[in-house]
């Protein structure tokens, strides 16, 4: 259990950050899952329309530090390749 005021504050900060990070990660997971489902269902036009939304979510998460920049780039690349190859 935290004793000092600074330790208590650090716990509060980390809890708040964890909540915010979870929001970003959940949004990314939901959008990517939807895109992959569309690819499996052979609905490429709809999957392509989701790409800008996926890019925005990944870039925002990278910008605020939830994921690293290269992680966002790698995920964007793989999803783009998946959607374009299946066409």
Report pLDDT for 68. 97
pLDDT at 86 (0 to 100)? 63
Q: How far apart are CA 24 and CA 66, in angstroms?
A: 7
Q: From CA 85, how far away is CA 40, in angstroms rounded?
A: 12
Rounded distance between C-alpha atoms, residue 34 and residue 84, angstroms: 16
What Rg, from alpha-carbon coordinates, does the chain have? 17
Provide the pLDDT for residue 85: 79
pLDDT profile of the chain (87 residues), mean per 10: 93 97 97 95 92 96 97 96 81
Task: Print the SS3 string covering 33-49.
Answer: HHHHHHHHCCCHHHHHH
All structural domains of the chain, each given as residue ranges with its CATH number in brackets, are 5-85 (1.20.58.110)
**CA end-to-end span of the chain, whole Å?**
55
CB 41 within 8 A of CB 33: no
């Amino acid at each position: 259990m935290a004793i000092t005021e600074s330790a208590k504050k650090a716990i509060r900060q980390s809890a708040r950050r964890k909540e915010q990070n979870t929001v970003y990660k959940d949004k990314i997971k939901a959008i990517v899952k939807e895109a992959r489902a569309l690819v499996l269902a052979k609905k490429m036009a709809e999957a392509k329309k989701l790409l800008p939304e996926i890019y925005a979510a990944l870039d925002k998460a990278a910008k605020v530090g939830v994921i690293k920049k290269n992680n966002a780039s790698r995920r964007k690349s793989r999803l783009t390749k998946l959607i374009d190859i299946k066409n």
